[in-house]
């Protein structure tokens, strides 16, 4: 069997290499958990500092109210903020090393693994993972909208006014997507962007408070992450092909002369 594989040009897979796959997956999961924990701690510190410094009317209102609805909304704010920070940490960790590529043993091992993966199964697996990420975003928008609608009237007035649960979920999702397009396609200019954003959200959210402005910025950044997750799902085959090409280049560069 090994001889047949060797004749077909397929690399021989040792037992150690088979075991390395689950270990790499576990290490990747640990890295994800570490980013989530780091983002959560930073989010808690930011909210605590804002409360102590009396820098946020919204946070003070939610803490002073102390009801279950207020705690729910405050918790959702912390979760969304933590998720944004975790994603930013992940971007820093994955982007900057690519600017100065360094081919160590781990890169070579990953390249070898990518070359051995079956295209159909791999694309299906990646598509499923990316689709799960999109669904998670939708759940987060739903919980954020529901928690806003359940929050005290004073907290809602500090942001955008009273909204019903379904209305808040829909508006937050539309605002996030429309705002993300504004960030992503800023080079088109406001006149060219207006027809696109108006088709998504005819009446954007407006606020007269600093808390509301910060909430809108966070909502649009989260919407940008949501749109990127959708795009990542749609271009999964391209991502896989790019990974195969890069793995082949790494293999050729590290092959013994």
Q: 């729910």: which residue's tokens?
A: 72
The span from the CA of 177 to the CA of 225, in Å, is 9
Token pair recorded at residue 216 = 């809108």
What pLDDT was estimated at residue 147? 92
User: What are 24-43's pLDDT values in tens digits?
Assistant: 445 455 555 666 677 778 87
What is the value of pTM for the model shown?
Answer: 0.71
Q: Are 179 and 45 in contact (CB under 8 A)?
A: no
Of the ranges 95-99, 175-179, 202-206, 247-251, which is most confident?
Answer: 175-179
Tell whether the model's pLDDT for residue 21 goes beyond 90.
Answer: no
What pLDDT was estimated at residue 206? 84
Query: Which comes out higher in pLDDT, residue 134 or 126?
Result: 134
Q: Are 146 and 165 in contact (CB under 8 A)?
A: yes
Domain boundaries, the chain: 16-254
Nearest to 118 by CA among 238, 244, 253: 244
Neighbours of 232 (CB within 10 A): 18
The span from the CA of 173 to the CA of 140, in Å, is 10
3-state helix vs strand vs coil in the chain, percent to 5: 80, 0, 20
Tell whether the model's pLDDT for residue 93 goes beyond 70.
Answer: no
The span from the CA of 7 to the CA of 53, in Å, is 70
Token pair recorded at residue 251 = 């293999």
Q: Are 247 and 115 in contact (CB under 8 A)?
A: yes
Of the ranges 69-73, 83-87, 93-97, which is most confident?
Answer: 69-73
What pLDDT was estimated at residue 33? 65
User: What are 127-165's pLDDT values in tens digits?
Assistant: 777 788 888 889 999 999 999 999 999 889 888 888 899
What DSSP letter does each residue of 188-210 carry, written as one string? G-HHHHHHHHHHH-SS----SSH
């Amino acid at each position: 069997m090994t001889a047949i594989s060797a004749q077909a040009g397929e690399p021989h897979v040792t037992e150690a290499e088979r075991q390395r796959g689950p270990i790499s997956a576990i290490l990747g999961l640990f890295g994800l958990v570490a980013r989530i924990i780091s983002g959560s701690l930073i989010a808690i510190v930011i909210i605590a500092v804002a409360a102590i410094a009396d820098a946020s009317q919204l946070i003070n209102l939610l803490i002073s109210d102390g009801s279950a609805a207020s705690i729910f909304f405050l918790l959702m704010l912390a979760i969304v903020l933590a998720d944004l920070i975790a994603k930013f940490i992940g971007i820093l960790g994955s982007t900057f090393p690519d600017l100065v590529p360094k081919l160590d043993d781990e890169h070579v091992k990953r390249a070898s693994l990518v070359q051995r993966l079956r295209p159909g199964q791999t694309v299906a697996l990646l598509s499923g993972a990316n689709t799960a990420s999109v669904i998670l975003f939708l759940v987060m928008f739903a919980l954020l909208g529901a928690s806003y609608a359940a929050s005290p009237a004073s907290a809602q007035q500090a942001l955008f006014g009273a909204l019903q649960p379904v209305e808040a979920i829909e508006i937050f999702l539309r605002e996030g997507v429309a705002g993300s397009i504004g960030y992503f396609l800023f080079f088109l200019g406001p006149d060219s962007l207006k027809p696109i954003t108006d088709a998504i959200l005819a009446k954007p959210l407006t606020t007269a408070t600093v808390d509301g402005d910060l909430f809108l910025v966070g909502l649009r950044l989260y919407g940008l992450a949501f749109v990127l997750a959708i795009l990542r799902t749609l271009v999964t085959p391209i991502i896989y092909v790019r990974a195969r090409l890069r793995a082949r280049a790494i293999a050729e560069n590290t092959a013994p002369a």
